[in-house]
Protein backbone atom coordinates (compact mmCIF):
# COMPACT_ATOMS: atom_id res chain seq x y z
CA UNK A 1 0.00 0.00 0.00
CA UNK A 2 1.32 3.43 -0.90
CA UNK A 3 2.11 5.92 1.85
CA UNK A 4 -0.28 8.47 0.36
CA UNK A 5 -3.29 6.20 0.90
CA UNK A 6 -2.49 5.99 4.59
CA UNK A 7 -2.38 9.77 4.84
CA UNK A 8 -5.72 9.98 3.02
CA UNK A 9 -7.20 7.68 5.68
CA UNK A 10 -6.12 10.03 8.45
CA UNK A 11 -7.68 12.89 6.44
CA UNK A 12 -10.91 10.87 6.20
CA UNK A 13 -11.04 10.75 10.01
CA UNK A 14 -10.31 14.48 10.22
CA UNK A 15 -13.05 15.33 7.72
CA UNK A 16 -15.66 13.17 9.49
CA UNK A 17 -14.80 14.68 12.88
CA UNK A 18 -14.97 18.20 11.41
CA UNK A 19 -18.45 17.55 10.00
CA UNK A 20 -19.76 16.22 13.31
CA UNK A 21 -18.25 19.14 15.20
CA UNK A 22 -19.70 21.65 12.72
CA UNK A 23 -23.15 20.06 13.12
CA UNK A 24 -23.05 20.39 16.91
CA UNK A 25 -21.62 23.91 16.71
CA UNK A 26 -24.47 24.96 14.45
CA UNK A 27 -26.99 23.67 17.00
CA UNK A 28 -25.13 25.40 19.87
CA UNK A 29 -25.05 28.69 17.97
CA UNK A 30 -28.72 28.52 16.96
CA UNK A 31 -29.63 27.80 20.58
CA UNK A 32 -27.60 30.77 21.80
CA UNK A 33 -29.15 33.14 19.25
CA UNK A 34 -32.67 31.94 20.17
CA UNK A 35 -31.83 32.31 23.87
CA UNK A 36 -31.15 36.04 23.54
CA UNK A 37 -33.84 36.69 20.93
CA UNK A 38 -36.53 35.07 23.10
CA UNK A 39 -35.18 36.67 26.28
CA UNK A 40 -35.24 40.10 24.65
CA UNK A 41 -38.82 39.53 23.45
CA UNK A 42 -39.96 38.28 26.86
CA UNK A 43 -40.99 34.83 25.66
CA UNK A 44 -41.78 32.13 28.21
CA UNK A 45 -39.51 29.28 29.22
CA UNK A 46 -42.06 26.92 27.67
CA UNK A 47 -41.66 28.64 24.29
CA UNK A 48 -37.89 28.52 24.54
CA UNK A 49 -37.94 24.88 25.64
CA UNK A 50 -39.96 23.91 22.54
CA UNK A 51 -37.47 25.72 20.31
CA UNK A 52 -34.50 23.99 21.97
CA UNK A 53 -36.07 20.56 21.50
CA UNK A 54 -36.76 21.41 17.84
CA UNK A 55 -33.12 22.40 17.26
CA UNK A 56 -31.71 19.35 19.04
CA UNK A 57 -34.32 16.85 17.86
CA UNK A 58 -32.50 15.72 14.73
CA UNK A 59 -28.98 14.55 15.62
CA UNK A 60 -27.05 12.66 12.93
CA UNK A 61 -26.05 9.56 14.84
CA UNK A 62 -26.67 7.48 11.70
CA UNK A 63 -24.22 9.73 9.88
CA UNK A 64 -21.58 8.87 12.50
CA UNK A 65 -22.15 5.15 12.03
CA UNK A 66 -21.93 5.55 8.24
CA UNK A 67 -18.59 7.35 8.61
CA UNK A 68 -17.27 4.55 10.82
CA UNK A 69 -18.37 1.95 8.26
CA UNK A 70 -16.80 3.99 5.44
CA UNK A 71 -13.51 4.20 7.32
CA UNK A 72 -13.52 0.47 8.07
CA UNK A 73 -14.10 -0.33 4.42
CA UNK A 74 -11.23 1.96 3.38
CA UNK A 75 -8.87 0.42 5.97
CA UNK A 76 -9.93 -3.08 4.98
CA UNK A 77 -9.46 -2.40 1.26
CA UNK A 78 -5.97 -1.05 1.96
CA UNK A 79 -5.08 -4.11 4.04
CA UNK A 80 -6.32 -6.52 1.38
CA UNK A 81 -4.59 -4.64 -1.46
CA UNK A 82 -1.38 -4.65 0.53
CA UNK A 83 -1.67 -8.39 1.23
CA UNK A 84 -2.15 -9.08 -2.48
CA UNK A 85 0.83 -6.89 -3.39
CA UNK A 86 3.01 -8.71 -0.90
CA UNK A 87 1.86 -12.12 -2.11
CA UNK A 88 -0.24 -13.05 0.94
CA UNK A 89 -3.44 -14.45 -0.58
CA UNK A 90 -4.72 -16.40 2.44
CA UNK A 91 -8.29 -15.36 3.12
CA UNK A 92 -8.57 -13.01 0.14
CA UNK A 93 -11.42 -14.95 -1.47
CA UNK A 94 -13.34 -14.66 1.81
CA UNK A 95 -12.97 -10.88 1.70
CA UNK A 96 -14.01 -10.67 -1.94
CA UNK A 97 -17.23 -12.53 -1.18
CA UNK A 98 -18.12 -10.36 1.84
CA UNK A 99 -20.50 -7.60 0.89
CA UNK A 100 -20.88 -5.63 4.08
CA UNK A 101 -18.81 -4.40 7.01
CA UNK A 102 -20.15 -3.90 10.51
CA UNK A 103 -18.87 -1.96 13.51
CA UNK A 104 -16.81 -4.42 15.53
CA UNK A 105 -15.37 -3.69 18.98
CA UNK A 106 -13.61 -7.01 19.33
CA UNK A 107 -10.38 -5.33 20.42
CA UNK A 108 -10.98 -1.69 21.21
CA UNK A 109 -14.37 -0.80 22.63
CA UNK A 110 -16.37 1.95 20.97
CA UNK A 111 -18.40 4.60 22.78
CA UNK A 112 -22.12 3.74 22.67
CA UNK A 113 -24.74 5.98 21.08
CA UNK A 114 -26.36 6.37 24.52
CA UNK A 115 -23.33 8.38 25.69
CA UNK A 116 -23.83 10.92 22.91
CA UNK A 117 -27.55 11.21 23.69
CA UNK A 118 -26.84 11.63 27.40
CA UNK A 119 -24.58 14.65 26.76
CA UNK A 120 -27.03 16.16 24.27
CA UNK A 121 -29.85 15.90 26.83
CA UNK A 122 -27.62 17.33 29.54
CA UNK A 123 -26.97 20.40 27.38
CA UNK A 124 -30.68 20.93 26.72
CA UNK A 125 -31.50 20.70 30.43
CA UNK A 126 -28.74 23.15 31.26
CA UNK A 127 -29.66 25.82 28.71
CA UNK A 128 -33.37 25.65 29.62
CA UNK A 129 -32.51 25.98 33.30
CA UNK A 130 -30.32 29.00 32.54
CA UNK A 131 -33.07 30.62 30.44
CA UNK A 132 -35.62 30.12 33.20
CA UNK A 133 -33.28 31.83 35.66
CA UNK A 134 -32.59 34.77 33.31
CA UNK A 135 -36.26 35.13 32.43
CA UNK A 136 -37.10 35.66 36.09
CA UNK A 137 -34.38 38.30 36.52
CA UNK A 138 -34.59 40.39 33.35
CA UNK A 139 -37.80 42.30 34.20
CA UNK A 140 -36.25 43.47 37.48
CA UNK A 141 -33.07 45.00 36.01
CA UNK A 142 -31.85 47.20 33.13
CA UNK A 143 -32.56 44.83 30.22
CA UNK A 144 -29.94 46.15 27.77
CA UNK A 145 -27.19 46.06 30.39
CA UNK A 146 -28.23 42.58 31.54
CA UNK A 147 -28.25 41.15 28.00
CA UNK A 148 -24.84 42.64 27.20
CA UNK A 149 -23.28 41.08 30.31
CA UNK A 150 -25.11 37.81 29.71
CA UNK A 151 -23.55 37.43 26.26
CA UNK A 152 -20.13 37.38 27.93
CA UNK A 153 -21.08 34.92 30.67
CA UNK A 154 -23.33 32.62 28.61
CA UNK A 155 -20.64 30.26 27.32
CA UNK A 156 -19.13 29.56 30.71
CA UNK A 157 -22.59 29.03 32.19
CA UNK A 158 -24.11 26.96 29.36
CA UNK A 159 -21.69 25.85 26.63
CA UNK A 160 -18.65 24.95 28.76
CA UNK A 161 -20.45 21.84 29.89
CA UNK A 162 -18.06 18.89 30.14
CA UNK A 163 -15.19 18.63 32.61
CA UNK A 164 -11.99 17.67 30.78
CA UNK A 165 -9.48 15.96 33.07
CA UNK A 166 -5.73 16.28 32.69
CA UNK A 167 -3.26 13.43 33.00
CA UNK A 168 -2.78 14.24 36.66
CA UNK A 169 -6.45 13.54 37.37
CA UNK A 170 -7.64 17.10 38.10
CA UNK A 171 -10.05 19.12 35.95
CA UNK A 172 -7.95 20.84 33.28
CA UNK A 173 -10.81 22.82 31.71
CA UNK A 174 -14.46 22.62 30.71
CA UNK A 175 -15.22 22.03 27.04
CA UNK A 176 -18.20 22.61 24.77
CA UNK A 177 -20.61 19.89 23.72
CA UNK A 178 -19.40 20.23 20.10
CA UNK A 179 -15.75 19.72 21.10
CA UNK A 180 -16.46 16.85 23.46
CA UNK A 181 -18.83 14.85 21.25
CA UNK A 182 -16.69 15.32 18.13
CA UNK A 183 -13.78 14.05 20.22
CA UNK A 184 -15.80 10.95 21.16
CA UNK A 185 -16.59 10.40 17.48
CA UNK A 186 -12.86 10.76 16.77
CA UNK A 187 -12.19 8.02 19.33
CA UNK A 188 -14.79 5.75 17.72
CA UNK A 189 -13.36 6.31 14.23
CA UNK A 190 -9.76 5.69 15.25
CA UNK A 191 -10.57 2.60 17.29
CA UNK A 192 -12.83 1.12 14.63
CA UNK A 193 -10.01 1.56 12.11
CA UNK A 194 -7.54 -0.17 14.40
CA UNK A 195 -10.13 -2.89 15.05
CA UNK A 196 -10.45 -3.52 11.32
CA UNK A 197 -6.71 -3.91 10.91
CA UNK A 198 -6.52 -6.31 13.87
CA UNK A 199 -9.38 -8.39 12.42
CA UNK A 200 -7.73 -8.41 8.99
CA UNK A 201 -4.44 -9.45 10.59
CA UNK A 202 -6.16 -12.41 12.28
CA UNK A 203 -7.59 -13.63 8.99
CA UNK A 204 -4.38 -13.03 7.07
CA UNK A 205 -2.14 -14.57 9.74
CA UNK A 206 -0.17 -11.33 10.16
CA UNK A 207 1.85 -10.80 13.33
CA UNK A 208 3.28 -7.29 13.12
CA UNK A 209 1.91 -3.78 12.66
CA UNK A 210 3.04 -0.25 11.90
CA UNK A 211 1.72 3.25 12.61
CA UNK A 212 2.78 5.31 9.58
CA UNK A 213 3.90 8.86 10.33
CA UNK A 214 1.54 11.62 9.20
CA UNK A 215 1.33 15.39 9.72
CA UNK A 216 0.04 16.56 13.12
CA UNK A 217 0.01 13.06 14.61
CA UNK A 218 -0.82 12.95 18.31
CA UNK A 219 1.99 13.21 20.86
CA UNK A 220 1.30 9.75 22.31
CA UNK A 221 1.76 7.97 18.96
CA UNK A 222 4.85 9.80 17.72
CA UNK A 223 7.33 7.56 19.52
CA UNK A 224 5.74 4.42 18.04
CA UNK A 225 5.54 5.51 14.42
CA UNK A 226 7.45 3.93 11.55
CA UNK A 227 8.72 0.89 13.44
CA UNK A 228 7.54 -2.71 13.82
CA UNK A 229 4.95 -3.24 16.57
CA UNK A 230 3.77 -6.49 18.10
CA UNK A 231 0.10 -7.20 18.84
CA UNK A 232 0.78 -6.65 22.54
CA UNK A 233 2.35 -3.24 21.85
CA UNK A 234 -0.61 -2.18 19.72
CA UNK A 235 -3.07 -3.08 22.47
CA UNK A 236 -1.05 -1.22 25.09
CA UNK A 237 -0.61 1.90 22.92
CA UNK A 238 -4.27 2.76 22.36
CA UNK A 239 -5.90 1.01 25.34
CA UNK A 240 -8.88 -1.33 25.21
CA UNK A 241 -11.47 0.54 27.26
CA UNK A 242 -13.45 3.65 26.28
CA UNK A 243 -14.57 5.06 29.60
CA UNK A 244 -16.88 8.03 30.15
CA UNK A 245 -14.24 10.38 31.54
CA UNK A 246 -11.92 11.89 28.97
CA UNK A 247 -8.85 11.30 31.15
CA UNK A 248 -9.43 7.55 30.74
CA UNK A 249 -9.58 7.80 26.94
CA UNK A 250 -6.10 7.39 25.55
CA UNK A 251 -5.30 9.51 22.49
CA UNK A 252 -8.69 11.31 22.45
CA UNK A 253 -7.98 13.28 19.25
CA UNK A 254 -5.72 10.71 17.59
CA UNK A 255 -6.08 10.28 13.82
CA UNK A 256 -3.25 7.77 13.41
CA UNK A 257 -3.79 4.76 11.18
CA UNK A 258 -2.72 1.22 12.06
CA UNK A 259 -1.49 -0.95 9.20
CA UNK A 260 -0.29 -4.53 8.89
CA UNK A 261 3.50 -4.70 8.55
CA UNK A 262 4.65 -7.32 6.06
CA UNK A 263 8.25 -6.22 5.44
CA UNK A 264 10.68 -3.38 6.08
CA UNK A 265 9.95 -1.74 2.72
CA UNK A 266 6.85 -0.26 4.38
CA UNK A 267 9.00 1.67 6.86
CA UNK A 268 9.41 5.02 5.10
CA UNK A 269 11.82 7.81 5.92
CA UNK A 270 10.11 10.35 8.16
CA UNK A 271 10.08 13.88 6.75
CA UNK A 272 10.28 15.60 10.14
CA UNK A 273 12.19 15.32 13.39
CA UNK A 274 10.41 14.62 16.69
CA UNK A 275 11.01 18.25 17.75
CA UNK A 276 9.47 19.54 14.51
CA UNK A 277 6.46 17.25 14.85
CA UNK A 278 5.90 18.29 18.45
CA UNK A 279 5.95 21.95 17.41
CA UNK A 280 3.63 21.30 14.46
CA UNK A 281 1.14 19.55 16.74
CA UNK A 282 1.36 22.34 19.31
CA UNK A 283 0.73 25.03 16.67
CA UNK A 284 -2.27 23.20 15.29
CA UNK A 285 -3.75 22.86 18.79
CA UNK A 286 -3.23 26.59 19.42
CA UNK A 287 -4.88 27.50 16.12
CA UNK A 288 -7.79 25.20 16.97
CA UNK A 289 -8.21 26.95 20.33
CA UNK A 290 -8.20 30.40 18.71
CA UNK A 291 -10.68 29.18 16.09
CA UNK A 292 -13.12 28.06 18.78
CA UNK A 293 -12.91 31.49 20.39
CA UNK A 294 -13.43 33.14 17.00
CA UNK A 295 -16.54 31.00 16.33
CA UNK A 296 -17.97 32.06 19.69
CA UNK A 297 -17.34 35.72 18.91
CA UNK A 298 -18.98 35.45 15.48
CA UNK A 299 -22.15 34.15 17.17
CA UNK A 300 -21.93 36.90 19.80
CA UNK A 301 -21.72 39.47 16.99
CA UNK A 302 -24.94 38.14 15.43
CA UNK A 303 -26.68 38.48 18.80
CA UNK A 304 -25.30 41.98 19.47
CA UNK A 305 -26.49 43.08 16.01
CA UNK A 306 -29.97 41.72 16.71
CA UNK A 307 -30.01 43.63 20.01
CA UNK A 308 -28.87 46.81 18.23
CA UNK A 309 -25.74 47.16 20.37
CA UNK A 310 -23.24 48.65 17.89
CA UNK A 311 -20.66 49.40 20.58
CA UNK A 312 -20.49 45.73 21.47
CA UNK A 313 -20.33 44.76 17.78
CA UNK A 314 -17.29 47.00 17.35
CA UNK A 315 -15.59 45.48 20.38
CA UNK A 316 -16.21 41.97 19.06
CA UNK A 317 -14.86 42.87 15.61
CA UNK A 318 -11.69 44.21 17.24
CA UNK A 319 -11.22 40.95 19.16
CA UNK A 320 -11.80 38.88 16.00
CA UNK A 321 -9.15 40.90 14.12
CA UNK A 322 -6.62 40.28 16.90
CA UNK A 323 -7.33 36.55 16.80
CA UNK A 324 -6.93 36.47 13.00
CA UNK A 325 -3.50 38.11 13.37
CA UNK A 326 -2.44 35.55 15.98
CA UNK A 327 -3.58 32.67 13.77
CA UNK A 328 -1.66 34.08 10.78
CA UNK A 329 1.55 34.34 12.84
CA UNK A 330 1.15 30.77 14.11
CA UNK A 331 0.52 29.34 10.63
CA UNK A 332 3.58 31.14 9.26
CA UNK A 333 5.74 29.74 12.08
CA UNK A 334 5.13 26.05 11.24
CA UNK A 335 8.57 24.36 11.08
CA UNK A 336 9.44 22.67 7.78
CA UNK A 337 12.62 23.05 5.73
CA UNK A 338 10.99 22.16 2.41
CA UNK A 339 8.78 25.02 1.06
CA UNK A 340 6.28 22.61 -0.52
CA UNK A 341 5.94 20.64 2.71
CA UNK A 342 5.52 23.85 4.68
CA UNK A 343 2.77 25.04 2.33
CA UNK A 344 0.96 21.68 2.59
CA UNK A 345 1.09 21.83 6.40
CA UNK A 346 -0.14 25.43 6.39
CA UNK A 347 -3.14 24.46 4.27
CA UNK A 348 -4.04 21.70 6.70
CA UNK A 349 -3.88 24.06 9.68
CA UNK A 350 -5.85 26.73 7.85
CA UNK A 351 -8.53 24.13 7.10
CA UNK A 352 -9.50 24.36 10.78
CA UNK A 353 -10.85 27.83 9.99
CA UNK A 354 -12.80 26.88 6.88
Q: What is the pLDDT of residues 233-275, one digit of tens each?
A: 888 886 654 443 344 456 777 888 889 998 887 777 777 777 8
Of 128 and 2, more confident: 128
> Which of 238, 249, 244, 201 lies closest to 91 in space, CA to CA?
201
Tell me: do 225 and 315 sit in the same domain: no
pLDDT per position as a tens digit, 178-237: 989 998 999 899 888 998 999 888 888 889 999 888 777 777 788 888 889 998 888 888
- pLDDT given for residue 239 in this prediction: 65
Tell me: do 182 and 327 sit in the same domain: no
Of 165 and 69, more confident: 69
Tell me: do 327 and 214 sit in the same domain: no
In whole angstroms, give the CA distance from residue 192 to residue 109. Answer: 8
Q: Output b/e per residue, 131-150; b: 16+ Cβ within 10 A.
A: beebbeebeeeeeeebbbeb
Last residue of a domain, one of 270, 290, 311: 270
Tell me: do 179 and 315 sit in the same domain: no
Tell me: do 238 and 283 sit in the same domain: no
Last residue of a domain, one of 248, 270, 292: 270
Tell me: do 223 and 93 sit in the same domain: yes
Confidence band of 352 (pLDDT split at 50, 70, 90): low
CB 161 within 8 A of CB 176: yes
Tell me: do 37 and 173 sit in the same domain: yes
Tell me: do 286 and 258 sit in the same domain: no
Q: By residue range, what is the domain housing residue 224?
A: 3-270
Average pLDDT over residues 289-313: 90
Q: Where are the alpha helices (DSSP H) in 166-259?
A: 177-204, 219-222, 231-238
Tell me: do 166 and 216 sit in the same domain: yes
Tell me: do 116 and 252 sit in the same domain: yes
Tell me: do 88 and 233 sit in the same domain: yes
Q: Please give the tally of structural domains in the chain.
A: 2
Tell me: do 196 and 304 sit in the same domain: no
DSSP string, 196-218: HHHHHHHHHT--EEEB---TT--
CA 294 to chain centre: 17
Confidence band of 5 (pLDDT split at 50, 70, 90): very low
CB 30 within 8 A of CB 302: no
- pLDDT given for residue 311 in this prediction: 92
Average pLDDT over residues 115-127: 94
> Which of 80, 110, 113, 107 lies closest to 95 in space, CA to CA?
80
Last residue of a domain, one of 270, 293, 324: 270
- pLDDT given for residue 40 in this prediction: 95
Amino acid sequence: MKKSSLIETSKLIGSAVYNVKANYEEKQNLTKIKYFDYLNKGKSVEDFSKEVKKIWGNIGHKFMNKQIAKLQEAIHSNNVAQAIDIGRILGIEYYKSTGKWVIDDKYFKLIPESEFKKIENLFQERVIKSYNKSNKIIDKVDKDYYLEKKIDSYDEEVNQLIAYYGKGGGIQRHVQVSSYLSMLHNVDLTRSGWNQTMIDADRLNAEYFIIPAHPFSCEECQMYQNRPLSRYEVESIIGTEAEEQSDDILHPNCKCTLSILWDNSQIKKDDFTIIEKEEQYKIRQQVNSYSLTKDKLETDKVIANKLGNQEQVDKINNRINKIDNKITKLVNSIPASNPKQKHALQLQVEAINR
